[in-house]
Structure 1
Amino acid sequence: MFENLDIFKMASGLARHAVTRQEAVAKNIANADTPGYRAQDVASFEEAYEGNQAGTAMRTTREGHMVSASSQETNGFRLFDAPGPSSPNGNTVSLETEMMKSSQVRHEHDLALSVYKTSMNILRTSIGRR
């Protein structure tokens, strides 16, 4: 009954987005010295959420379906090549940028948990439990 509430779906989606973005950041950092590696990032949660609300977002139905070379989808979120200058070996990873992204991801995850906890407290209060 309570798993169908939109606020819980949104909090869950925000947490999944944070996980997906953290995976992309970790992969970028791991490949910081790989020649020719292109840094990737995840489309913003707002973009993905609004696209799903409108019902117009296209999603892959199986591996390799509707995937371009510069755009992929992971956990329902679009991955794309992050803009930025490349080093002489063709690598576009900036460790400073990735650390900033990591900090943003932590904030997103904390926000998702806060929304979830607050919603649970409201439900508990509404049914008379603390």
Structure 2
Amino acid sequence: MALTDLPVIGMLRTRMQWAQARQGLIAENVANADMPGFKPRDLVEPRLDRSTGAAVNASTTLALTSPAHIAPAGQGTGTDSKRAKGFEIRPSGNGVNLEDEMMKAGENQSDYQLAASLYQHSLTTLKIAVGKS
């Protein structure tokens, strides 16, 4: 078993790659804040399988076969609990709100730093476990 096959390492690596890709989209949103008709974009957080550390395909969600059934956790009725309000649209048709984008960038940076720190500590712990401190 390779070191990179461990679920914790895989999940942390996936999280750091996601944060890196998200940072690029946030930067693109900020760069196009004055472009008429530009619509901001964002990435959906990856869902990870806790046992394998692999990303779970978003298309494999449970289906409601009856309106009387309770929706599975996280599937809800289409509302997003993190999104309190929609984007402001300026007369030029641009939907970028710089304050929101800066908040996302700061939050994304914190998430990346946390994942990188946990990744480093996991590697250090594994080195200690095999006797290579």
> Same fold judged by TM-score > 0.5?
yes
- Residues 56/30 of structure 1: CA separation in 2 closer, same or farther (3 Å cut): closer
Aligned positions of 1:51-90 closer than 5 A: 55-58=56-59, 83-90=86-93
For 1:34, the equivalent position in structure 2 comes to 35
Aligned to 2:71: none
Aligned partner of residue 99 in structure 1, secondary structure: helix
Instruction: Decide which of 110, 115, 120 is 1:117's aligned counterpart.
Output: 120
Distance 1:27 1:54 in 2: 25
Instruction: Report the TM-score when normalising by structure 1.
Output: 0.72
* Partner amino acid, structure 2, of 1:34: M
Spell out, residue by residue over 1:38-86, the C-alpha distance to the aligned partner (whole angstroms, 9 max, x if none): 01111123xx325x8685434xxxxxxxxxxxxxxxxxxxxxxx94120
Q: Give the aligned partner of residue 73 of structure 1.
A: none
1:12 aligns to 2:16 (yes or no):
no
Unaligned ranges ≥5, structure 2: 60-84
The aligned counterpart of 2:131 is 128
**Which segments of structure 1 move beyond 2 Å, counting only runs of 4 or more?**
52-58
**Matching residue of 1:108:** 111
**Cα shift readout 1:88-113 (whole Å, capped 9, x = no counterpart):** 11100011111101101111110111
User: CA contact under 8 A between 2:10 and 2:54: conserved in structure 1?
Assistant: no
Task: Write 1 or 2 for the structure with the bigger share of strand.
Answer: 1
RMSD of aligned C-alpha atoms?
2.3
| 3-state secondary structure, aligned to 1:41 | coil
Larger Rg: 2
Stretches of structure 1 that go unaligned for 5 or more consecutive residues are: 59-81
Q: Does residue 49 of the first structure (1) align with residue 48 of the second (2)? A: yes
Is this contact kept in 1: 2:48–2:56, CA < 8 A?
Answer: no
1:78 corresponds in structure 2 to none
Change (3 A) 1:86 1:57: same
Equivalent position SS for 2:8: helix
SS of corresponding position for 2:9: helix
Change (3 A) 1:26 1:55: closer
Q: Kindly, what percent of the aligned residue pairs are identical?
A: 32
Could you say what secondary structure the match of 2:42 adopts? strand
Residues in 2 aligned to 1:127 and 1:53: alpha-carbon distance in whole angstroms: 25
